[in-house]
Amino acid sequence: MGEAGGGGGGEGLKKRRGCGCSCTKNDFLPEESFQSWSNYINALKETPTRFFEHVTSRSLEQTELNEVKAMSHHEMKKTINWWDLMWFGIGAVIGAGIFVLTGLEARDQAGPAVVLSYVISGVSALLSVFCYTEFAVEIPVAGGSFAYLRVELGDFVAFIGAGNILLEYVIGNAAVARSWTSYFATLCNHQPNDFRINVGHLNEDYRHLDPIAVVVIAIVCVLVILSTKGSSRFNYIASIIHVLIIVFIIIAGLTKAKAKNYSDFAPYGVRGIFHASAVLFFAYIGFDAVSTMAEETKNPGRDIPIGLVGSMLFTTAAYCLMAITLCLMQDYKDIDVDAPFSVAFQQVGMGWAKYVVALGALKGMTTVLLVSAVGQARYLTHIARTHMMPPWLAQVNERTRTPVNATIVMMVASAIVGFFTSLDILSNLLSISTLFIFMMVALGLIVRRYYVSGLTTGANRNKLVVCILVILGSSIAIATYWGLSQHGWVGYVISLPIWFVATLAINILVPQAREPKIWGVPLMPWLPSLSILLNIFLMGSIDKDSFI
C-alpha cells in the first residue's frame, strides 16, 4: 500500500484564504478538473489512473492533523475535558433505544432474556469503544472513523465509510426525533400517533407525517450552532437529570416486580436473543460521535479514554438493570412496543409514574439529538475538508467557531427522513450501517498496529493480509451459517477454529510495527479481531429484508 500526503483530491488540499462564510464556485467545485470543459474531459480520461491511486494510497497522520484541518479556515475551540466527554457519551447513547426498542425486542424476539441481548450488544460496543479510543487519542481530528479509515485503509475505503457514517447519523437523528414525538404524546395523555398527520394513501411505514420531529431537530440545530461548550453544559445538566430518572425507574419498578414474569426466561431461544442484540445495538450507538470531539478536547490522551470507556460501562449497566426491571414488572407478552415503561407503570397501578418516565425519555432523546448533531457535523466537516464533499461544508464560522454549514445540511436531511419514516425501518437500517463502520474501524486498528509503510517487510505484509482475509472470511461464514441454519452446529465447529487460528497467526507470526504513543488497546490483536467477528455476526442476525 502506498501513502500519499493528500489523498482527498491532490490540489484540493491547498489551504485557502478568506473568511469562513464564503459561498463561491470554489467553495463547491474547487478542483482544477472543474475550471474548464477541457480540464473536465482530461480528468475523465484519467479516471482509471486516479481510481487506482485512491484505492492503493493512504493519507498521513500529519496530513489529517495539519493540512486537512487547515481547510476549515478557523480552528475549533479546545474547550472539552473528560467530564464533558463522559456526559456527552451518556447523553449520546441513552435515548430511544432503551425507552422504545427494549419493549419491541422483549415482546417479539427475546422475552425477559432481552437483558442478555443487551449484554452481547454491550460487549460488542465496548470492544468498538476501545478501538475508537486508541484512534481518537492518536489522531485527534473531527473526522472520527472517516479520518481513521483514510489513514489506515485508504481513500476508497474511507469513501465507502463516509457514506455509511452520514447514513448512520441521518437515520439515527430521524429515528430519535420520531421517538421524541411518541413520548411527548404520552406525556400529554395521547396515543403516539395522535400528534402525527395521517396520509392514508401512502405506504403504512411512511404515512404518519411527523412535524414535531422536524421542529425538535431545528431547535437542536440552533443550539449546536451557537456553541459547543454551551451544548456541553446543557447536555450534562440534562443527562444528570436523566440519570436520576433512570434510578427512579429501576427502584420504583423493582418494588412492583413479580418473579413469575421471569418464569419463561428465553421463549424465543438463543436465536431470538442474538436477533434482538443486533437490533438493540442501535441503543449503543452515539459514542462514535464523542470521538469526533477529539479536535476540541484539551488533553486527548487523558480525557478521551476516561470519557469514552467510563460512559460505555455506565450505559451498559443502566441498560441491563432497566431491561430486568421492565420484564419483572410486566409479562413480556403484554409489553407495549411504543411506550413500554410508561405503560408498564400504568399497568401496575403507578399511572403517575408514566409522566416521570416520559419526561426522562424526552430528556434522553434530546441529549442524543444534541450530541449526534455535534458529531455528524464534525464528520461532514472533515469529509468536506478532503473534498469528497464540497469544501463549503468544511467551513468553520469565525464567530462561533462551529461548523455551521455542515450542521444545517445534516439536520435538514435528518428532518426530511424523520418527517416520513417509521422507527422500525430506521432502527434496522441504522444497526447495519453502524455495525459495518465499527467492523471497519477494528480492521483499521489491526492494520495500524501491524503495518507501517517502509518498515514492515513484504513477507510480513503478505502474512497480515492473508490473516485478515481469513478473519473476515471465517466471520462472514459464521454469520451466514447462523442465518441459514436453524439448528446446525457443524459450520461453527469449522469456522470458529479458523478465526482463532488466523488471529493467533497474527499474534505469533507478524511483529507489531507500531506501538501506541499514549493509550492503546490491550490484548492485540484479539480484541479488535473479536470486534470484527461480533459486528459481522450481529449484522448476520438482522432479518434479510433490512438489507434490501
User: In the prediction, which pLDDT does 465 show?
Assistant: 95
Residue 288 Cα distances to 142, 304, 379, 437, angstroms: 11, 11, 10, 10
* H helix runs in 261-351, sequence order: 269-280, 287-291, 300-329, 340-347
Q: How far apart are CA 513 and CA 457, in angstroms?
A: 10
- The whole-number average pLDDT for the span 39-48 is 78
Q: How far apart are CA 1 and CA 293, in angstroms?
A: 29
Note the pLDDT tens digit of each residue in 208-220: 788 998 999 998 8
Helix axes 353-385 and 211-226, enclosed angle (nearest 10): 60
List CB contacts of 340: < 8 A, sequence separation 6 or more. 99, 100, 102, 103, 104, 106, 326
Q: How far apart are CA 26 and CA 507, in angstroms?
A: 48
User: In the prediction, which pLDDT does 475 show?
Assistant: 94
Note the pLDDT tens digit of each residue in 340-363: 888 888 888 888 887 888 788 788
Q: Report whether pLDDT(393) > 90.
A: no
Q: Report whether pLDDT(32) > 80.
A: no
Q: In whole numbers, what is the pLDDT of the chain averaged over residues? A: 81
Q: Report whether pLDDT(3) > 60.
A: no
User: In the prediction, which pLDDT does 473 show?
Assistant: 95
- The whole-number average pLDDT for the span 179-190 is 80
Q: Report whether pLDDT(58) > 90.
A: no
**Strand 57-58 relative to strand 2-3, pairing:** parallel
Give, for 209, the enclosing helix (H) or strand (E): strand 208-209
Per-range mean pLDDT, top range of 1-5, 286-290, 475-479, 541-545:
475-479
Q: Report whether pLDDT(164) > 50.
A: yes
Residue 494 vs residue 90, higher pLDDT? 494
Q: Report whether pLDDT(429) > 50.
A: yes
What are the beta bridge partners of residue 2?
57
Residue 486 vs residue 340, higher pLDDT? 340
Q: Report whether pLDDT(12) > 50.
A: no
Rg (CA), the chain: 23
User: In the prediction, which pLDDT does 371 show?
Assistant: 79
Q: How far apart are CA 356 and CA 358, in angstroms?
A: 6
Note the pLDDT tens digit of each residue in 258-307: 999 998 898 988 888 988 887 787 778 777 777 878 887 888 888 889 98
Beta carbons of 531 and 442 less than 8 angstroms apart: yes
- The whole-number average pLDDT for the span 172-187 is 81
- The whole-number average pLDDT for the span 437-443 is 91
What's phi and psi for 286, nearest 5 deg?
A: 125, -30
Query: Which residue do the cell numbers 476540541 mark?
Result: 296
Whole-number percent of the chain with pLDDT over 70: 86
User: In the prediction, which pLDDT does 21 show?
Assistant: 56
Beta carbons of 344 and 326 less than 8 angstroms apart: yes
Specify the pTM.
0.78
Q: How far apart are CA 382 and CA 384, in angstroms?
A: 5
> Grid coordinates representing 360?
426522562
User: In the prediction, which pLDDT does 447 show?
Assistant: 94
Band (29; pLDDT cuts 50, 70, 90): low
Lowest mean pLDDT among 72-76, 155-159, 219-223: 72-76
